[in-house]
Amino acid sequence: MINRIFKYLFSKRQSGFNDTVKLEGIVHYVLKDMYGKVKEERLIKNTIPDAGKALLAALMITDVGAAGVDYIALGVGTPSATALGSESSTNGGARRGGADVTGSLTTTTTTNDTAQFTTTFTFTGNLGLYEEGLFTAAVGTMLASQAFEILNVVSGDTLAITHKLKVA
């Protein structure tokens, strides 16, 4: 009898209702030299720290009044659960936000299931980058981040970043 109940419940679960939601993040980097030639291109999965999960929950509640995400930062360290390990602030690698970051909805699987953030950094000196993150403000909550193998940039290089967060 119990086996039939489980079989019935699991058959209903498979019938089109899905209450599991997850967030999948991926970041696309395109590094170009001063002449526009692509030097390197990477596609990297990101991490959603606990503070980022709490931010997403807060964004659903009007009474909480959480700020949306509108900043992208680069770093030369390893991200922690709440911040970049060593955020860049020189040589054109300083945090970008506001009008310098474009946020939009795009379709990956279903209509408007992916938040997309884009910006381009133009470097005025050399940096060895190891991390990138999404933030709510110039000094705000980190929604997502990732560490990666060193990405060396020199003066005149540009780094186009497209950071996507898919709700699946």
Q: What is the tens place of the pLDDT at every residue in 108-137?
A: 998 999 999 999 999 999 999 999 999 998
Q: In this predicted structure, what is the pLDDT of residue 11?
A: 55
pTM of the entire structure?
A: 0.83
Alpha carbon distance 101, 94 (integer Å): 13
Q: pLDDT tens for residues 6-20?
A: 455 555 555 555 567
- Strand intervals (E) in 12-157: 23-32, 38-45, 71-75, 96-97, 102-106, 114-122, 127-135, 142-153
Percent of the chain with pLDDT over 90: 59
Q: pLDDT tens for residues 133-151?
A: 999 988 888 999 999 999 9
Task: Annotate 45-75 with b (16+ C-beta within 10 A) or e (fewer).
Answer: ebebbebbeebbeebeeeeeebeebbbbbbb
Q: Among 135, 15, 131, 115, which residue's Cα sits nearest to residue 80? A: 131
Domain layout of the chain by residue ranges: 20-167
- Strand intervals (E) in 17-126: 23-32, 38-45, 71-75, 96-97, 102-106, 114-122
Residue type for position 130:
Y
- Using the structure block, give the residue that is written with the tokens 């540009």: 158
Where does the pLDDT of residue 30 fall: very low under 50, low under 70, confident under 90, or very high at 90 and above?
A: very high
Take residue 82 and report the two structure tokens written for it. Answer: 């709440």
Mean pLDDT of 31-37: 97
Q: Is the pLDDT of residue 53 over 90?
A: no
- Using the structure block, give the residue that is written with the tokens 């360290």: 77
